[in-house]
Structure 1
């Protein structure tokens, strides 16, 4: 069935935003078991997740791979840098992240090395370098091998509630999904439709809508 984006009134938009959050508002960090906080370990875990999600592989497998790495104890730049390469590849394999396991293991080690050498193992120093500018932050993230514009956008979507200066943040994919649902694509306007200061769940929900035709169809049918 083809759905035409529709404009909704403020009341309808609030109801749709609430339903969207209920049905799809789990961040990828939450799904991977990352307890987001502005601390070195979760920030590095989020870089790992962004790198895994940047590969041409399903989000489900990428998130599962991040979970496996966490369960293996590969949670900090120091632990990944010191890890046996085989340990990393085995963790990726358990998540069925096999096609890119070798190259990803190399990139994870390089990400750990860069985090240690450039940021002293603490990515809060990356935040301090960007002067509250999401564009600068994204550019610094893209200096990690394997993280391009998509991966940088993933990181910024997921980190925004612990880096409040970046909130509300939507990347192009999330904005397009918002327009398809008839919701505001302006982050500030969309944030005004929710009853919580947290905005990462909304950004994640919109990305999930962009990837799931059935979910998008259900939401549009409910609006209609």
Structure 2
């Protein structure tokens, strides 16, 4: 909401950057670098458990454990309340794929896994969905009828959610969340290019770890792809 950001005194991009950097601090606290240097399945699970638990606490409005209290050793991880309320649900933490995929690549041969960079899905969704269907050996389908729209889980009562066409209307859904459809990939303004560049540098270690785990340098090209947009 533009009016709310005006009250905070920062732009949408600046708020987004603070939210992302807070999650990066959580990843550092939960020793992502140590795991990436010497990955194990057990430590991967430990990292994700730590990052999700702590990430949820520092972005929650209810600081029942006083993590953000004046005398807390974790106070440096916390965000001001006026910024925190705009942060999403651990978008970065859940997007640190290296530890989440580590067990899979150790359990299955490479030809039994199909891992696709999201940029390909965004840029050529119909072609990628055809590739997925072929890999799964399912019947051919006209994916253009689906990929021409964007589907998201939304709160219909939120400012962004109220602008989308409702695909579902389930009265029993959790927290009244529904599936919304739009012809736009995002309801948010474009990210400031300077902030975007800073964040690309900040998340580079996560992409490097993913490329190492998958033994696929394609995932290192993300930095270049984003800069060329």
TM-score, with structure 2 as normaliser:
0.27
Higher relative contact order (CA 8 A, sep 6+): 1
* Higher helix residue share: 1
Which is richer in strand? 2
**Normalized against structure 1, the TM-score is what?**
0.27
